Structure formats: C-alpha cells, structure tokens
Copies of this chain bind each other. A is one copy, B any other.
C-alpha cells in the first residue's frame, strides 16, 4: 500500500564559535582577541584523523535539536548553550559513503566558562583561530543584476596545526534577490565542512548588527571595552568608543564592580540587561 521511497541518512553538525584571548603584549596593553571555532578530530572513517565539526546521525525518535545537544554533550562535553538552526545541506555527493543530508546549527559560547573534553569517537578536540583571506575578487554586471565572485582562503590554527581551505563564493543578485553558491576548491576539513563554516560566519556577522547575539560570547560580567572588541572582531572594523557606548547603552546594566591592577584607570564591569527587548518582540 505504502510506496517505498528512498531514505537518506540525516545528520546535524554544529559550528561553535567563541572569542578568545591570543596574547598580551605588555603589562599595559589589553590582550588581543580573536574569533575561534571548536573542532574535533575524527576517530573513524571516512576522513579518519581529519578535523571536523562536531555532529551526529539523528536518532529514530529524536528531534533535530535533541540530536545537536546530544552530539555536543557526547563529543565535546558542552551543554545548555545557545544554538540556532542555520541551513540544511543536501548535495547528493557531499558525503563519500552514501547520501547524507545535514542540518547545521550555530552555537556561541564564552570559552572561559566551559570545559571542553574529547568524547565518544573523538580523537582530539581543540579551539582553532579563524582567519579569512580574500585571494581573488571579481564583480560582473549582468542584465538583471550583478555577479560577484570571491575566492576565500580559510586558515584555521591551533598551537600545533594549520588547516587551510579554499572556497569559491559566488554571490548573484538576480532581480534584487541575493543568491549564493559555494564551492570547495580545496580543504583540510572533513566533508564539506568548509562550506558550512563560511555560511555560519556570514550569518554570525549579519546577526550581530540587529540582535544581542554577541552577548553569548561574553562572560557574566565584562567591561565595555571587552564588549567593543567582540563587536569589532565580528563586524571586522574599528568602532568609535563614544558612539559604541551610546549604541549599546540600553542593553547593559552597570554593576558596582571594577577591574583592577590593569596598568591604567580601572574600568567598570557591566552585565547584560535582561529587560532589553528587540524591536520585533
């Protein structure tokens, strides 16, 4: 009675971002911060010993969000974090084994506040620094819009390793509609995870401007300069202090604590203002 349809495997993968200190230059200067991503080293084929996004197959009686949370806890020891569904990847050839459709989720954490640990089927786990280089760029005018092609090099580094990927991103504007194609030219990451990463970075940068998403990357209490550093990294441009502070004034609450022993005037600590409501709400 019931026709037999083709059944693919379905997985979830998570792109976990954090913003972490690299190094302080001297006692006076503030430590530099950088955008980082959490990767795990695969213990099994395919892509054995390759670094990859933490993910898992979706269980028979499991919601997608349940699967993401389970995979994070099992493989990385991360629980109860902010997660957001991004996109579903269904290219028939994206997994060499068999047809696997994957839904990607983005998570943002303050890495000082969590303890990562390599879990089930995980060879290794680490934070990797993210650097993007635009190698080539072209901009063509077409009859119903524009076509912008970029070749982007993704360089991921931890203390010992450097992972490189090269991705071609074609952004087309067809009758005002933005259409994006991505193609992996070369990648040290498993599967098509370089694509998932590029997409997540793009989304993260967009959402910073109109949500309070960046506060997920902050500790409970923070200075306004720390917050500004995070915004500057995500927006990828320097901001003017006075203007930044006016802009985020309503989203934070002053505490009576201060940071000390900093080699300069102590800065006040702030916390997120839970009474803040976005315009949409």
Residues of A within 8 A of B (CB-CB), count: 52
For A183, the chain B residues whose CB sits under 8 A away are none
Question: For the complex, is A242 an interface residue (Cβ under 8 Å from B)?
Answer: no
For A97, the chain B residues whose CB sits under 8 A away are 2
- The answer, among B7, B85, B178, for a CB contact under 8 Å with A278, is B178
Whether the Cβ atoms of A178 and B280 lie closer than 8 Å is: yes
Q: Which of A129-137, A138-146, A226-234 contacts B (4 or more CB under 8 A)?
A: A138-146
Q: Which of A31-39, A60-68, A257-265 contacts B (4 or more CB under 8 A)?
A: A60-68
Whether the Cβ atoms of B8 and A176 lie closer than 8 Å is: no
Whether the Cβ atoms of B211 and A176 lie closer than 8 Å is: yes
User: How would residues 78 to 109 of chain A score, 1 for a CB under 8 Å from any chain B CB and 0 otherwise?
Assistant: 00001011011011100001010101000000
Instruction: Look across to chain B and name the residue whose beta carbon is closest to the beta carbon of A103.
Output: B88
Whether the Cβ atoms of A178 and B281 lie closer than 8 Å is: yes
Could you tell me the distance between the alpha carbons of A176 and B272 in the complex, rounded to whole angstroms?
8
Q: Which of A22-30, A111-119, A185-193, A212-220 contacts B (4 or more CB under 8 A)?
A: A212-220
Whether the Cβ atoms of A173 and B101 lie closer than 8 Å is: no
For A61, the chain B residues whose CB sits under 8 A away are 92, 99
Could you tell me the distance between the alpha carbons of A84 and B146 in the complex, rounded to whole angstroms?
19
Report how many copies the assembly holds: 2
Question: For the complex, is A255 an interface residue (Cβ under 8 Å from B)?
Answer: no
- The answer, among B8, B146, B176, B251, for a CB contact under 8 Å with A10, is B8
Whether the Cβ atoms of B90 and A103 lie closer than 8 Å is: yes
Whether the Cβ atoms of B90 and A64 lie closer than 8 Å is: yes
Could you tell me the distance between the alpha carbons of A146 and B85 in the complex, rounded to whole angstroms?
21
- The answer, among B87, B146, B211, B281, for a CB contact under 8 Å with A148, is B281
For A10, the chain B residues whose CB sits under 8 A away are 7-8, 10, 90, 101
For A278, the chain B residues whose CB sits under 8 A away are 173, 178
Closest-CB distance, A101 to chain B (whole angstroms): 6
Q: A7-B10, A64-B88, A176-B212 are in contact. List 7 more A-B contacts (CB 8 A).
A: A8-B8, A58-B101, A63-B92, A64-B90, A176-B216, A176-B251, A177-B213
Residues of A bordering B, CB below 8 Å: 2, 5-10, 57-64, 82, 84-85, 87-88, 90-92, 97, 99, 101, 103, 143-146, 148, 171, 173, 175-178, 206, 211-213, 215-216, 251, 272, 274, 276-278, 280-281
